[in-house]
Amino acid sequence: MDLRSLSPEFRSKLKEVQTIASRATRQETHGDYEQAFSLYVDSVQKYLYLIRTLQDGSLKEQLKAISSKLLNRAERIKSSRPQLSLRAPVRDRTSSEEQDVVLQRSQKINGLSFHPWSPSHLNPVNDPSHPSQLASIQPALSPAQKQAFLEWKSMKEANPSLEVYKSDALDPTDIVQDIVTDCSLIAAFSVLINHAKHFQSQLHTECLYPKGPDGFPEGSTDGIYRVKLFLNGTERQTLRISRFVSLKSFNDLECISLRKHGMIFSLR
């Protein structure tokens, strides 16, 4: 089991659960089956928490196999000694494991999943879901958009001079609204742009990744831009925006854009 690529925090938690499992085995050997059962169940719960946080598929399978063996030991004690008063350990609802369960349960909103933000979202090479993300990133088009639709094209292909972001270029009066129902979105973005101009804030860009050394959005190497928002108790990846834009005629954009400054909003 190669742990060198794992964070110090993960290695510490793994060592803790391994210690609990070892204690369970010792208690079983010494005949203290009630304590052994409690420790086995505790170690299984902690292993399941670690498994949920892992990206490495092979390591995840190794930990699943270990937790399965520990669970079998607990079940064997319970089935072979029905006379014992066996209880699972009292759960600490303030523990990181219990809090993680709550955050996982609350990620589903209106049928959509908003997963907790992970460093892997900024490192697509190590993100196992990256290929499927690219395949499903394009949003559905409305009937009117479908009638005018020509093709999907990357921003750079649509216009090589386009920039992802330029701090001094944004102006609400430059925004071109392509769809009439986008009015509330345009109004909100106009307010954020003006707030940034007057107060040097980053309300309109703070949530958009990846970022450059200056803290502002930069071009994405994997073609996906991610939006991080605080939602239901934690920071979550709420949107994935593709670098591909829809065209309704030769280089005629079918999305919100700017009439000047060579910039584009890939919002539909």
DSSP state letter for 174: G
For residues 176 and 259, is the Cβ–Cβ distance under 8 A? yes
**Count of CB atoms situated within 10 Å of the CB of 168:** 7
Report the topology of domain 8-85+92-105.
Methane Monooxygenase Hydroxylase; Chain G, domain 1 (1.20.58)
For residues 187 and 180, is the Cβ–Cβ distance under 8 A? no
Task: Please tell me the predicted confidence (pLDDT) of residue 183.
Answer: 86
Look at the block and give the residue holding tokens 């210690």: 19
pLDDT, block means (10 residues), the chain with 268 residues: 76 93 95 92 90 82 93 92 77 74 83 79 53 55 71 67 67 79 86 88 85 81 81 83 58 66 49
> Which residues have C-beta within 8 Å of that of residue 145, sequence separation ≥ 6?
179, 246, 248, 254, 268
| Nearest Cα to Cα of residue 107 among 116, 99, 94, 98 | 116
Task: Please tell me the predicted confidence (pLDDT) of residue 72.
Answer: 94
251 φ/ψ sector (left φ>0, alpha ψ -120 to 50, else beta): left
| Nearest Cα to Cα of residue 244 among 266, 263, 225, 268 | 266
What kind and span of H or E run contains 32? Answer: none
Q: Where are the domains of the chain?
A: 8-85+92-105, 115-258
- Say whether pTM exceeds 0.75: no
Cα torsion 59, 72, 97, 17 to 10°: value is -70
Output the DSSP codes for 185-234: HHHHHHHHHHHHHHH---TTTTTEESB-TTSSB---SSSEEEEEEEETTE
Task: Please tell me the predicted confidence (pLDDT) of residue 19.
Answer: 96
Task: Please tell me the predicted confidence (pLDDT) of residue 40.
Answer: 94
